[in-house]
């Protein structure tokens, strides 16, 4: 960062703060002004919430607003919109779509969810069977989606549907933006092992989506979805984190607060877990630097894989450290939380919820394949169905 650029950013931030006092301006108005000033995503193009700068400038700008007491923009609830939908719309959206969706998304006016996985197409996402059939200027969509976070609060969704069953499964998909308030969209809660229902199943019955809400070309859905998934894995496993934060920080505090439960064997294991978590944190920092000028690549799969493994091992270690105290679980309540809170909950919750880390955002098995084939250059796993029309595949 050059001093000239930093000074310019400071002046821009101060101008927004001067015109929109954080103590008296409502959150939506404040974030609309921040977007219009190019200080939403500073690495986005001018006019779309950014200034065309390096991605590494973002923490500096965020820090200035945070110090000034700026309001939040529903980031915890709208992680899918901010971390997945926004970069996909930027990469594949038309100018009209970018103008329509990016500003209210950033301002927290519209919450987004992700309609990708299905009961028969989770790890093998390209096998999705939800159908979209062209009807004039619209598409008629029928199908079922599952594991949909915040669908019960979302106004919009990114959706992958099959538009050409006669083509191989990766080729006959198209990507859409779906209005969750449209007739034919039904959301049902899915209760998890934690007792809560973060996720939902979504039924789509004759849902009409205008072709103007298609992202990318017809049949290009897999390519567009790959951009979404790469960004999802960075948003899950590659976020900027200080040293000894997250689940590692909680477990380290449990260790320090329970001297009577320590053993040499547990001490050795905690040190190993600390080193692995720190290596993952530094790798995430390096990846963010690499993608500063563009979209994340397959390396993001390694970050998410490491994140899931670390969370599960640390939460298991904490339960073992606490003994019978760790087995007490008083959170078995049917609620629909806005976010996942690993650090503010009990050890039992962390242990149970971490099981989902190796499923959400791509299963660990699939991510290992991606790393092996697309990062390490190992031989590709044989795929007998690669060139067979989707309609001819056994299901």
Q: Are 41 and 30 in contact (CB under 8 A)?
A: no
Rounded CA separation 118/97 (Å): 26
Q: Is residue 244 annotated as part of the catalytic site, yes or no?
A: no
Helices (H) and strands (E) in the chain, counts: 13, 8
Phi and psi of 220, rounded to 5°? -100, 15
Question: Which pLDDT score is estimated for 137?
Answer: 97
Tokens linked to 394: 């056994």
Q: How far apart are the first and last CA of the chain?
A: 53
pLDDT in the model for residue 229: 83
CATH architecture of 225-375: Up-down Bundle (1.20)
Q: What is the CATH number of domain 112-219?
A: 2.40.110.10
What residues are paired with 158 via a beta bridge?
114, 177
* Average pLDDT for runs of 10 along the chain of length 395: 88 97 96 98 96 90 96 91 95 97 97 95 89 98 95 97 96 97 97 91 98 97 91 60 86 95 96 92 73 62 86 96 88 82 89 90 84 88 86 85
Contact 292/54 with Cβ under 8 angstroms? yes
For the entire predicted model, the pTM comes to: 0.87
- Going by C-alpha positions, the residue among 149, 305, 312, 337 that lies closest to residue 236 is 305
Cα angle 184, 138, 127 (rounded to 5 degrees) comes to 70
Residues in the chain: 395
pLDDT of residue 115: 97
What is the assigned CATH class of domain 3-106? mainly alpha
* Structural contact between residues 33 and 14, judged by C-beta atoms closer than 8 angstroms: no
Q: What is the domain partition of the chain in residue ranges?
A: 3-106, 112-219, 225-375
Which of 232, 244, 276, 365 is an active site residue? 232
Q: What are phi and psi of 198, to 5 degrees?
A: -70, -35
Q: Which helix (H) or strand (E) holds 324?
A: helix 324-327
pLDDT for 243: 84
Q: What is the dihedral of CA 60, 66, 67, 71, to 10 degrees?
A: 150
């Amino acid at each position: 960062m050059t001093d000239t650029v930093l000074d310019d950013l400071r002046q821009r931030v101060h101008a927004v703060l001067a015109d929109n006092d954080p103590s008296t301006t409502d959150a939506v108005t404040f974030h609309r002004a921040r977007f219009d000033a190019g200080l939403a995503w500073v690495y986005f193009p001018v006019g779309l919430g950014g200034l065309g700068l390096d991605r590494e400038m973002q923490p500096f700008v965020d820090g200035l607003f945070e110090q000034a007491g700026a309001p939040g923009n529903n980031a915890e609830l709208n992680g899918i919109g901010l971390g997945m939908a926004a970069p996909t719309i930027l990469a594949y959206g038309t100018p009209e779509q970018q103008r329509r969706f990016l500003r209210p998304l950033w301002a927290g006016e519209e919450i987004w969810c992700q309609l990708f996985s299905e009961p028969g197409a989770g790890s093998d996402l390209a096998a999705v069977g939800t159908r979209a059939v062209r009807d004039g200027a619209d598409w008629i969509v029928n199908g079922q989606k599952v594991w949909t976070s915040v669908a019960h609060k979302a106004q919009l969704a990114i959706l992958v549907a099959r538009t050409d069953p006669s083509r191989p499964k990766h080729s006959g998909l198209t990507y859409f933006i779906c209005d969750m308030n449209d007739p034919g969209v039904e959301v049902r809660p899915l209760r998890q092992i934690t007792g809560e229902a973060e996720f939902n199943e979504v039924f789509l019955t004759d849902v009409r989506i205008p072709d103007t809400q298609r992202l990318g070309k017809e049949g290009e859905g897999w390519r567009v979805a790959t951009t979404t998934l790469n960004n999802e894995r960075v948003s899950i496993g590659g976020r900027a984190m200080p040293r000894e934060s997250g689940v590692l920080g909680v477990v380290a505090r449990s260790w320090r607060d329970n001297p009577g439960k320590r053993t040499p064997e547990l001490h050795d294991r905690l040190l190993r877990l600390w080193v692995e978590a720190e290596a993952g944190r530094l790798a995430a920092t390096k990846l963010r630097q690499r993608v500063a000028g563009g979209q994340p690549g397959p390396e993001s799969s390694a970050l998410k894989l490491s994140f899931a493994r670390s969370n599960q091992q640390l939460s298991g270690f904490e339960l073992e450290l606490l003994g019978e105290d760790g087995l007490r679980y008083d959170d078995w309540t049917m609620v629909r939380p806005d976010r996942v809170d690993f650090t503010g909950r009990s050890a039992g919750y962390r242990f149970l919820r971490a099981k989902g880390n190796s499923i959400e955002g791509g299963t660990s098995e699939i991510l290992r394949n991606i790393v092996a084939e697309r990062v390490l250059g190992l031989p590709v796993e044989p795929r007998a169905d690669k060139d067979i029309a989707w309609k001819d595949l056994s299901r």
